[in-house]
């Protein structure tokens, strides 16, 4: 279930339907999705993580060092801490949800699909088709 939420969050993060779909405008959907995702990760994982616990791989440490560097060197660390934290949480949840090669390949396919849809929306606007309403703004 956590992998499905990882894909769902990825699509919401890239396509941002809450910004252009009628009825969802202004709705804060990302935080509830992340809360549900956290709940699933803590209570009902479909498979155990191949790396029990956190901070077991070099890229986990790189993200932690980068996050610390950004917060420490910022003019206002509190603002940067709260602005950058959701991205670090997204990384941590994704690492815990994408824990097999099959899941990784599937996640990358969904990510490519999301990027292709964003590009399609941009190209459609060149031909006068603007489902996002971006031209009006």
Predicted TM-score (pTM) of this structure: 0.73
What is the pLDDT, as a whole number, of residue 45? 66
> Between these two residues, 135 and 105, which has the higher pLDDT value?
105
Tally Cβ neighbours within 10 Å of residue 135.
8
3 closest CA partner among 119, 131, 114, 108:
108
pLDDT(107) > 90: yes
How far is Cα 34 from Cα 93, in angstroms, rounded to an integer? 9
**Helix, strand and coil percent figures for the chain, each rounded to 5:** 70, 0, 30
Q: What is the DSSP letter of 135?
A: G
**Half-sphere CA count of 54, side-chain side, radius 13 A:** 12
């Amino acid at each position: 279930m956590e992998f499905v939420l990882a894909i769902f969050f990825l699509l919401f993060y890239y396509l941002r339907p809450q910004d252009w779909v009628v009825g969802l405008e202004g709705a804060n959907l990302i935080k509830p999705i992340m809360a549900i995702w956290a709940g699933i990760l803590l209570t009902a994982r479909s498979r155990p993580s191949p790396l029990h616990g956190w901070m077991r791989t070099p890229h986990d440490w790189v993200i932690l060092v980068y996050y610390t560097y950004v917060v420490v060197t910022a003019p206002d660390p509190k603002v940067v801490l709260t602005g950058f934290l959701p991205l670090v949480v997204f990384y941590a949840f994704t690492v815990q949800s994408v824990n097999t090669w099959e899941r990784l390949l599937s996640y990358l396919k969904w990510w490519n699909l999301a990027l292709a849809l964003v590009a399609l929306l941009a190209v459609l606007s060149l031909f006068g088709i603007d489902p996002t309403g971006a031209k009006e703004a």
